Chain A
C-alpha cells in the first residue's frame, strides 16, 4: 500500500510538472507552430514569469536578502496576471528589434536575449537576490487547505495509514487541478484563436511570409502579437512553477535545458497542433522521468545519469526530425470552407 501511495503521489507531482510544461508548449506553439517564429529563448520568458509572480506574491526582502525591492504579498491571481503582463511587455521589447530578421538571425537573437535575462537575474541582486534566489513563495490557498486537512485528519484518527497519507498530500491534488484547469482554459482559448481570422493570418505568414505581405497584411504586427501572446502564456507557466517550487533561482532556468525540452515536446507532439503540444509535453516528460528511474539501476554517478538522460532526449529529437518531423499529431488542417477555390 505504501508503494501505491508513493506512486500516486509521484504521478500527481509528475502531472503537475508535465502540465506546466504543457502550458509552455502551448505558448511555443503559437509562436512557432502557428506563426513560424523560431524562438530559442523560452527559458527567458519562463524565468521572467516566475520571478514576476514571486516578486508580486512573495514576502518582502528579509534580513538576509540582497533585495531592496519587491515582495508585495499580493494574491496568487494578481501574481499570475502580472507574470503574463510583464512577459508580454518583455516580448514586445524583444520583438520590435528582432522580428524583422530572418529565422537564423532570430534564433541567435533569442538565445542572446535569454542569456541576457539570465545575467540580469543573476547580477541585479537588489531586485532578484542574485544567485541566492527567492524563497518562501507562497502557494495559493496553502494555509486554508492545510488547516482543513489537519482538522479532518484530527477528527478521524482511525483512518488507515495509506488513506491518511493520501489526504495529507491533498494540497498537491488541489494544485494539480489548478494547473490542469488553467491548461484546459488556455487550450480552449488557443483553439478558438487558431480558427479565427487572426489564426488564419498567422498561419499564412508561416506558410509564405512574402505572399502574406503582398496580400496586404501587416506581417510584422501579427508576428509581434504572436510573440507577445506566446510569451504571456509562458509567463503563466512560470508563475505556476514558482508557486509550486516555492523557491526559484537563476539556476532553475538553465537556458538550454528548459528551452530544449519544450522544443522536443512540441516537435514530438506535433507543431501547429495544440493537442499535440500537450501530448508532447506529457510524453517527453514521461521519458525524462522514466530515464531518471532507468539510470538509477545502473552504477552511474549523479552527473553521469543527468548527462545520459539529456543524450537520450537529444537522440529522440534527431530521430523525430529524421523519421517523423511533423510529430505525432499532425498540423491541424484548415476546416473546410464552401467558398474555397482551387488555386
Chain B
C-alpha cells in the first residue's frame, strides 16, 4: 500500500520526463520520415544544445547581462537569452553537418546513414568532452523549494512547471507549423512520398533543411530542459536518453511526430512509475521492454501508418 501512495508524485516526474522525451522524439520522427533513417546522433544534438547554452550563459554573465532569477524560477534573463541563442546555434551546426556529411550520403542506404550518424554521435560527444571534460557542469547551483499542490499532496518546483510549459509551447508551435504553414504541409507531403513531392515541384532540399532546423532546435530545447531538471549536464546526457527516445518514437510510430509526443509521455510515465516496483538500476530497461513489446505486436506503432 505504501507503494501506491508514491504513485502521484512519480506521475509528476513522469510528465516532466515525458515532456523532455517528447521534444527529443519529434526531431527523430521528423528526420526518419523525411530523410529515411534513424538518427543516432540526435541525443548528442541535445547535449550540444545544452553545452552551447552553458557556454553562452557564462559569456553573457561575463558581459554583464543580468542573470537575477526571474520570479520563482532559478534562472534569469541572461539564461533565457542563452537558451534561445543556443537553439539557433545548434540548428546551424546540425545544418552544416548535413551539408557536409549526410547530404553526400543521401543516395546511399539508410544503414550507411545510420552508421554515419553513430560516428557523428561519438564525435560530437567527445568534442564536448574535450572542451568541457567528463565531469558534471551545473546549470543551477541552489536547491529550489517545491510547491506542494494541496489535495493531491504532490510537490512540484517552479522550474519543473517551466519545463512543462516550455514543452507545451514548443509542441504547439510545431503543430501549428505542420498544419497551417505551406512549408509545414510540404514537410508532411514529403514525408508521405518524396518522389511525388519532387514531381509536384516541391523543393525537397529546402524541406530537408527545415527538417534539420526544427529537429535540432527541439533537440537543443530538450537538452537544456534536461539540464534544468537534472541541475547538471555531462557529455553523456544525450546518449543516456537516446534509448528512451527511440523507444518513445517506436512506441508512437516511427515517422509520426505526434506519435513521438504520445510515446514520449507514455515512456516517461512508465519509467518513473516503474521505480516504485523495480530497482532504479533497471529504469532504462523499462523503455526498452515496452519498445520490444510494441515491435512484436504492432511495429508501426500506436499512431503509425499501415505501411
Contacts and interface: CB of A to CB of B under 8 A. Distances in A.
A101, A122, A301, A314 interface centre (most CB from chain B within 10 Å): A314
Interface stretch (A82-90, A226-234, A318-326): A318-326
A10 interface: no
B119 interface: yes
Nearest to A263: B115
11 contacts: A97-B295, A98-B295, A105-B299, A115-B243, A116-B288, A119-B284, A256-B239, A260-B119, A311-B130, A318-B116, A325-B108
B194 interface: no
Contact of B288 (A101, A115, A310): A115
A286 interface: no
A242 B134 CA distance: 27
Contact of A307 (B40, B114, B130, B282): B130
A103 interface: yes
B240 to A, nearest CB: 10
B182 interface: no
A119 B38 CA distance: 24
A123 interface: yes
Interface in B96-153: 101, 104-105, 108, 110-112, 114-116, 118-123, 126-127, 129-130, 133-134
Contacts, number: 118
Interface in A63-103: 97-98, 101-103
B175 to A, nearest CB: 25
Interface in B246-285: 246-247, 250, 254, 279, 281-282, 284-285
A301 B130 CA distance: 9
A256 B120 CA distance: 13
Interface in A83-138: 97-98, 101-105, 107-109, 111-113, 115-116, 119, 122-123
Interface string A302-343: 011011101101110110011001000000000000000000
A335 B299 CA distance: 39
A180 B40 CA distance: 35
B296 interface: yes
Contact of B122 (A103, A308, A310): A310
A174 interface: no
B292 interface: yes
Given A103-B111, A321-B105, A115 B284 contact: yes
A314 B123 contact: yes
A104 B239 contact: no
B37 interface: yes
